């Protein structure tokens, strides 16, 4: 079958003819891939800074943001049948008996680092005509969401982050009403963060590098989130215009801009980091001022990665809510669809800018 693979040893990325996967356990499901989203993690893998093939193989099949259709189910599979559309989770638990996260169904909080991730770390991805997966890692997608459900996986980042935000803010002796949020970065994770924050009632502003007009600003403003450029507006001016944010949702992966924006966080505020910096940035942090600000304002810095089963369920519910509230808003986030042969050009930006690019298998 056709698959897109990276060969780290040979420093190659290409379409290969991979062995057709077959069911090997009664709880497994065979899925025909429809769409695979491409993101910054793929970019890091094709530049060989990240990504590990499965043991014994010299290549890794790429792709971790997937939407597919069930074509075969094992005899012990319950809850899915042929013809259902599904989204798979990415991370699989580590083998260690003493990892409370993995043993408790939350490999997204694994403490050993020995988890695997499909399309990223030691497990084949989904950018292939078919894949096989245990039913426990698949989420059924309602028919009306088929054209946008490839956004489920990147949306789970926001779902997990905001679930934790709620838990953190339970520390406050009153029930906080959703206040102001600022989203740093306007790529797919930022845009989906915007929708998730707006849906929960936060007055949300996007604060990102590029100047208007651009498609990312248009997408944010179409759903009611004002867009400001870091090139025009200082963090101080941002606070004057939009008020001090109770939540800053960082989705740009740029350390310097993040720590600049942190200065605007309100008392009792939470700063959520979701972006993984891909380039190194020299910066000096006024350490004493930084600690003073955090301590004297009860502020929390939260890093968050990956997502659990409940976050996938929440993401699929939210996609339906977003679609009802902002018709066309999700579709606008999918810039273009491409054949597998274009994967390298898409991931390296040669196929154009925009928001989310998707590989399709037909």
Binding map of Zn ion across residues 90-109, x = CB under 5 A, - = no contact: ----x----x--x-------
How many residues make contact with Zn ion (CB under 5 A)?
Answer: 8
- Smaller CB distance to Zn ion: residue 41 or 342? 41
Task: Assess contact for 149 and 312: CB atoms under 8 A.
Answer: no
Which alpha helices (DSSP H) does 134-254 contain, by range? 152-169, 188-199, 215-222, 235-242
| Candidates 60-68, 82-90, 116-124, 279-287; binding stretch for Zn ion (CB under 5 A) | 60-68
Angle subtended at Cα 93 by Cα 87 and Cα 95, rounded to the nearest 5 degrees: 150
Q: 286 pairs with which residues across the strands?
A: none
Q: Min. distance of Cβ 203 from Zn ion in angstroms? A: 28
Q: Which is nearer to Zn ion, 175 or 279 (CB)?
A: 279
CA distances from 349 to 38, 39, 209, 281, 283 (A): 11, 11, 17, 21, 27
CB of 115 to Zn ion, least distance (A): 6
Query: Whole-number minimum distance, CB 337 to Zn ion, in Å?
Result: 16
According to CB under 5 A, which one of 60, 67, 110, 359 is a site residue for Zn ion?
A: 110
Q: Min. distance of Cβ 93 from Zn ion in angstroms? A: 6
CA 286 to chain centre: 31
- CA atoms of 189 and 153, how far apart (whole Å): 10
Task: Give the residues across from 60 on adjacent strands.
Answer: 6
Question: Residue 220 region, left (φ>0) first, then alpha (ψ -120 to 50), else beta?
Answer: alpha
Q: How far is the CB of 65 from Zn ion (least distance, A)?
A: 5
Instruction: Identify the helix (H) or strand (E) that includes residue 331.
Output: none
Burial of residue 241, with CB atoms counted within 10 A of its CB: 0-12 exposed, 13-18 middle, 19 or more buried: exposed
Specify the residue, 51 or 269, whose C-beta has the smaller distance to Zn ion. Answer: 51
| Contact with Zn ion (CB under 5 A) among 112, 214, 266, 297 | 112
Q: Smallest gap, in angstroms, from Cβ of residue 247 to Zn ion? A: 22
Shortest reach from residue 20's CB to Zn ion, in Å: 25
Tell me which residue of 73, 51, 83 sits closest to 132, measured CA to CA: 73
Closer residue to Zn ion in complex, CB, 112/278:
112
Q: How far is CA 59 from CA 36, 119, 122, in A?
A: 18, 10, 10
Exposure letters 92-103 (e unless 16+ CB within 10 A, then b): bbbeeeebebbe
Using the rule CB under 5 A, is 278 a contact of Zn ion? no
Question: At a CB cut-off of 8 Å and minimum separation 6, what does 292 contact?
Answer: none
Binders in 3-42 for Zn ion, by CB under 5 A: 39, 41
Largest Cα separation within the chain, whole Å, is: 61
> Which residues in the 231-260 window bind Zn ion by CB under 5 A?
none
Cβ-based nearer residue to Zn ion, 41 or 335: 41
Contacting range for Zn ion; rule: CB under 5 A; set: 110-118, 203-211, 221-229, 313-321 = 110-118
Site for Zn ion in 35-54 (CB under 5 A): 39, 41
Question: How far apart are alpha carbons 277 and 158 in whole angstroms?
Answer: 18
What part of residues 124-143 is at the interface with Zn ion (CB under 5 A)? none
Q: Pattern 315-334, binding to Zn ion, x per CB under 5 A?
A: --------------------
The CB-of-154 to Zn ion minimum distance in angstroms stands at 6
Nearer to Zn ion, 188 or 269 (CB): 188
Closest CB 238 distance from Zn ion, rounded Å:
28
Binding site for Zn ion (CB under 5 A): 39, 41, 65, 94, 99, 102, 110, 112
């Amino acid at each position: 079958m056709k698959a897109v693979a990276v060969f780290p040893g040979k420093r190659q990325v290409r379409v290969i003819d991979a062995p057709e996967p077959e069911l090997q356990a009664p709880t497994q499901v065979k899925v025909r891939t429809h769409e695979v989203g491409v993101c910054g993690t793929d970019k890091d893998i094709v530049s060989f800074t990240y990504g590990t093939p499965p043991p014994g193989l010299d290549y890794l099949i790429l792709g971790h943001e997937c939407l597919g259709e069930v074509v075969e189910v094992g005899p012990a599979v319950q809850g899915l049948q042929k013809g259902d559309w599904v989204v798979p989770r990415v991370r699989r638990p580590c083998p260690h008996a003493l990892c409370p996260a993995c043993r408790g169904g939350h490999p997204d909080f694994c403490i050993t680092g020995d988890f695997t991730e499909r399309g990223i770390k030691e497990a084949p991805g989904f950018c292939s005509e078919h894949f096989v997966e245990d039913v426990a890692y698949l989420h059924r997608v309602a028919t009306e969401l088929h054209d946008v459900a490839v956004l489920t996986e990147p949306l789970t980042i926001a779902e997990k982050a905001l679930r934790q935000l709620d838990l953190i803010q339970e520390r406050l002796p009153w029930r906080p009403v959703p206040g102001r949020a600022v989203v740093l970065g306007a790529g797919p994770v930022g845009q989906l963060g915007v929708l998730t924050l707006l849906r929960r009632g936060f007055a949300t502003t996007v604060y990102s590098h590029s100047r208007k007009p651009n498609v990312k600003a248009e997408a944010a403003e179409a759903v009611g989130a004002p867009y400001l450029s870091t090139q025009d507006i200082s963090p101080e001016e941002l606070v004057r215009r939009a008020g001090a944010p109770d939540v800053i949702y960082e989705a740009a992966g740029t350390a310097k801009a993040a720590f600049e924006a942190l200065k605007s966080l309100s008392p009792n505020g939470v700063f959520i980091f979701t972006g993984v910096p891909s380039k190194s940035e020299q910066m000096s942090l006024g350490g004493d001022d930084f600690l003073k600000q955090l301590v004297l304002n009860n502020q929390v810095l939260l890093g968050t990665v990956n997502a659990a089963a409940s976050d996938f369920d929440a993401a699929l519910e939210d996609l339906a809510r977003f679609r009802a509230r902002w018709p066309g808003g999700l579709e606008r986030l999918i810039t273009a669809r491409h054949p597998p042969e274009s994967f390298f050009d898409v991931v390296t930006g040669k196929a154009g800018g925009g928001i989310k690019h998707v590989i399709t298998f037909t």
